[in-house]
A and B are shown apart, each in its own frame.
Chain A
């Protein structure tokens, strides 16, 4: 197959996809305001995240200079291969302790079957393999996640897990596994400095530490699961549509930022692009029919709210990506259902 035909195929496919997307969007136009849509797009990196990062990086730079000025970086004596090993032995950096702990916690794998003695691998090899296994597990997390979903619910488990980020409270099992991993890494790190711990706390010997390393993470995971599952059953669950309507009207009543639309409307820095692009304003309105301004001022005299043709041009040009149309549709729904608006 030549290169040109492949390019053509790709181009045709893309065109088809664009047409399909457009049809899909037009067909589901009504769903957008109140109900959750199927496709979940991410929050844009620019400008939202980049702005936050820029602000926080100033603090971090200040933190670097503060630490540099008051906590000097260590420079010990020169390396000496002829000198004996010191006690307590010098330790690797904190982020390598878990790997060191894997080496220390491992044991020789040997067993006897029918009088024959098998010596499979030494502790060193086993410890190194364990590190490799941990790294492999971490890399494969997205697929393990779906497999777990499938095991829990063979019919819909992996479908439910597809493409939806959730809070830990929605997935107590996943959160418990994560807590197990973190607790295990911390315990391995503590286990790796057992000689240094024993100097200050002689009662915490290696036996105690190995028991805690074995059972501690399991206990943490179990407690996490219990806690999150209890929270879930207590009612921290997705709201129904009616509850969300009630939430919205209450939110309007005491003026708290509870709906994402309000939250997003507050991002507006009044550049006026939406006002410039608005076709209704272009055709009909002068200063008295400024839909967007009236809505922001909460002055719904009926004209502004109902003359919007929900074309979405304001959202298209909005640098802050505010979903104005959704807001208008929501207002209409509330008005017709008798809620205060």
Chain B
């Protein structure tokens, strides 16, 4: 009885929704086109309502448990779960054993410091640069949908550029992102500013570590990893700076090419590897693109994971 009523209500809603549809187009397609967002909203609301129903009836824990069991008997997740749990507690109890944990003397004690809170942001800079890295990844994925890594110089007709004003596929796609793509402007702006913030915070993070002396035993490895990560961040910035292939990027590219060629003994080789030749051509953009979206993220992400794992294991060097 109840079920029949629900079905009747749904059919009635569909009929009401289909009233404004004209006879020429297929009804279902027209409906889906017109009511895409309401349908998405309705399905989300339905999911929420379903979870709420399970919660109210008290079935939610058993439902979660059943779905966990369903996944678990296929992938044996309990092994990894218990392993992770054991590792977590082993690390925790190694660092903070129950008996006789040593109590480091803090700067507050040592110097009779009255106010300490303003040091905290300096200790957060590493985490904040990781946050900026995550933001950069998300916005970068969106920009990657529209950016074309085509640096060939062409004129307006698409012919190779001899005289007159030059442009390129990369620059045209940048114009598209800035003017046509929905949210393109704001996404690029967030990418731009979080990149600048990341470089700045990595620099400041290194200064904090230096002036507190946190690079000392046992954290030497982490310092060296961090300085490699600083280099990677700068290379990230540089390669990303060239990608729009505008005047500024071209100028930066010629400076970088000069630097690469002036490395003793292996200058031309480095220029070939990084810039795709001793001249700035379309190949430069292809290489920069590949470095920016694959090589540097791969190395950088691995090193960041190691860097943060070491901080997790060794702890932070004594906040104020």
Contact = CB atoms under 8 A, between A and B. Distances in A.
Interface residues of A, number: 106
A103 B256 CA distance: 11
A64 B112 contact: no
A42 B311 CA distance: 9
A288 B11 CA distance: 68
Interface in B98-144: 98-112, 114, 120-121, 123-124, 127-128, 131-132, 135
Contact of A57 (B127, B178, B212, B319): B127
Contact of B124 (A39, A56, A128): A56
Nearest to B220: A142
Nearest to A171: B213
A298 to B, nearest CB: 21
Nearest to A55: B124
A38 B123 CA distance: 23
A316 interface: yes
A143 B220 contact: yes
A166 B189 contact: no
Contacts of B230: 138
A38 B207 contact: no
B171 A166 contact: no
B224 interface: yes
Contact of B317 (A42, A44, A138): A42
Interface string A162-202: 11111111010011001000100000000000000000000
B269 interface: no
B264 interface: yes
B165 A78 contact: yes
A53 B127 contact: yes
Interface residues of B, number: 103
A164 B111 contact: no
Nearest to A168: B211
Contacts of A260: 103, 105-106, 108-109
Contact of A141 (B103, B107, B223, B238): B223
Contact of B255 (A53, A92, A141, A326): A92
Interface in A301-335: 311-313, 315-316, 321, 323, 326
A113 B214 CA distance: 47
B174 interface: yes
Nearest to B309: A45
A122 interface: yes
Given A96-B234, A263-B108, A25 B97 contact: yes
Contacts of B264: 121, 125, 128-129
A92 B241 CA distance: 9
B135 A64 contact: yes
A6 interface: no
Contacts of B234: 95-96
A236 B247 contact: no
A21 to B, nearest CB: 8
A115 interface: no
B147 interface: no
Contacts of A96: 234, 237-238, 252
A79 B244 CA distance: 9
Given A25-B99, A121-B264, A139-B224, 18 more contacts: A32-B102, A41-B96, A46-B312, A49-B124, A53-B124, A53-B127, A56-B124, A67-B189, A67-B193, A68-B189, A75-B174, A78-B165, A81-B161, A91-B251, A93-B241, A162-B217, A256-B114, A323-B103
Interface of A: 21-22, 25-26, 28-29, 32-33, 36-46, 48-50, 52-53, 56-57, 60-61, 63-65, 67-69, 71-83, 85-86, 89-93, 95-96, 99-100, 103, 121-122, 124-125, 127-129, 131, 135, 138-139, 141-143, 145, 161-169, 171, 174-175, 178, 182, 236, 238-239, 244, 247, 256, 258-260, 263, 311-313, 315-316, 321, 323, 326
Interface of B: 95-112, 114, 120-121, 123-124, 127-128, 131-132, 135, 153, 161-163, 165-168, 171, 174-175, 178, 185-186, 188-194, 196-197, 199-200, 203, 206-207, 210-220, 223-224, 227-228, 230-231, 234, 237-238, 241, 244-252, 255-256, 258-259, 262-264, 280, 308, 311-312, 314-319
12 contacts: A40-B318, A41-B104, A43-B315, A57-B127, A65-B190, A68-B193, A92-B252, A96-B252, A103-B262, A145-B215, A313-B98, A316-B97
